[in-house]
Structure 1
Amino acid sequence: MLHNDSGEETAHESAGDRAGGHPRVTLRRITAQDEAEFLELVRASIDLHHPWMSLPTTSEEFRAYLARFDDPRSAEGLLVCVRQTGEIAGNINSNSIIRGRFQCGSLGYAAFAPTAGQGYMSEGLGLVLRHAFQELRLHRLEANVQPGNHASRRLLERHGFRREGYSPEMLFIDGAWRDHERWAITSTMMGIVPDSPHPTLPAR
């Protein structure tokens, strides 16, 4: 279930909510109002993120980062927030969404140091998967992980992602082209069938 800027729940329910579950986190879309908290958390998490990722650390970088999600048809930036406090625990993005016969997006995610290690990102990823497969009606989500990023690999394994391959020098991160493992999960693997297919999916 996504929340709007005021914190009120939207009309969309996650599978966990319908089943009577009460997750410790909620999801909401990132906005310009999140700049100060987001940048503070990124700066507090530099040691946690290095060398696996590089997130915005200045206002200019944050605005450019936010602009990536101007068109929700191609990318969606979500924040994982602690339900009790509203504190941002991490972010999970669905990037490079392609429709038609592919119906696929690429995940990017990061935990923030103040709340890392408490399981919030795992709960958040579970909600994101249900949102992507039920509401966005995607069929497949991919995630690319550097081989040494064991925490990220464990997160994906916990949610049933399968390792599909290895790509040398795949992404430019921290000043160099880094090798990545390719992981993916489909709606079929999770047993999620949307009420109707996305309108861009061909009939045959």
Structure 2
Amino acid sequence: MPENDVIAAGARTVIRLPRPADQAEFLARVRDSAALHHPWLAPPATPADFRAYLERLTEPQTEGFLVCERESGALAGFVNINAIVRRAFLSGALGYAAFVPYAGRGHMSEGIGLVVRHAFTDLGLHRLEINVQPGNTASIALAKRAGFRLEGFSPDYLFIAGAWRDHERWALTAEMTADGPGAGR
């Protein structure tokens, strides 16, 4: 993987920007991971969906990253920062998914850590939220491992896979991380 593609690197994973050349692998991973994702999310599953996804990532309120296995460059998942609000709020909402066969192997934990660090340092955000359906225990465990705290419950919060779904709201601020304001003091 070319070094200039890498936004941040960890011991086992890197995060990088998605590109049109990723379409075939991305869609194959989504297909292979359909049972893992249902009913929690509906990632881009067709060439048109993938092109629309890349187009959304050009909007100023959205950032998107592929989580890749460092050694092979294979797609292990993706993380998006959606609904970015600047000025006094400096906030965004994370959306993410692991891909089979990488789910449950630590790649997403490391990838989310890299995205959080990038968001709080390079992007200058102050707060990140993760909205998780209560039955999605794997995603809740991932939010906890990343240091997010439970802040509340919102009924009928997001429209996913054809239905309004309840969500738990998890959040992390820059001050809660080692990279936050005053780190190293």
Please report the TM-score for the alignment, with normalisation by the length of structure 2: 0.93
- 1:69 matched to which residue of 2? 57
Gap regions ≥5 residues in structure 2: none
| 8 Å CA contact retained: 2:6, 2:15 | no
Other-structure match for 1:8? 3
Alignment-mate amino acid for residue 13 of structure 2: V
Correspondence for 2:18: 30
Equivalent position SS for 2:101 = helix
Number of residue pairs matched? 182
Larger radius of gyration: 1
- Residues 170-195 of structure 1: CA distance to partner in whole angstroms, max 9, x if unpaired? 11112211000000000001142469
Structure 1 alignment gaps of length 5 or more: 1-5, 196-204
- Structure 1 residue 133, shift from structure 2 partner: 0.5
User: In 2, distance between residues paired with 1:104 and 1:82?
Assistant: 28
Match of residue 139 from structure 2:
152
Output the aligned Cα RMSD.
1.8
* Candidates 96, 102, 114, aligned match of 1:109: 96
Map Cα deviations across residues 17-75 of structure 1 (whole Å, 9 max, x no partner): 7xxxx51000100111111100000000000000000011111111111111113x311
CA contact (8 A) 1:135 1:194 kept: no
Query: Which residue in 2 is equivalent to 1:58?
Result: 46
Question: Is residue 141 of structure 1 aligned with residue 128 of structure 2?
Answer: yes
In the alignment, the residues of structure 1 paired with residue 115 and residue 65 of structure 2 have an alpha-carbon distance, to the nearest angstrom, of 8
Question: Residues 86, 162 of structure 1: CA spacing in aligned structure 2 closer, same or farther, 3 A cutoff?
Answer: same
Runs of 4+ in 1 over 6 A off after TM superposition: none
Question: 2:155 maps to what in 1?
Answer: 168
Amino acid at match of 1:74: Q
TM (normalized to structure 1)?
Answer: 0.84
Structure 2 residue 97 is the aligned partner of structure 1 residue 97: no
| Matched AA of 1:7 | P
Matched residues, percent identical? 54
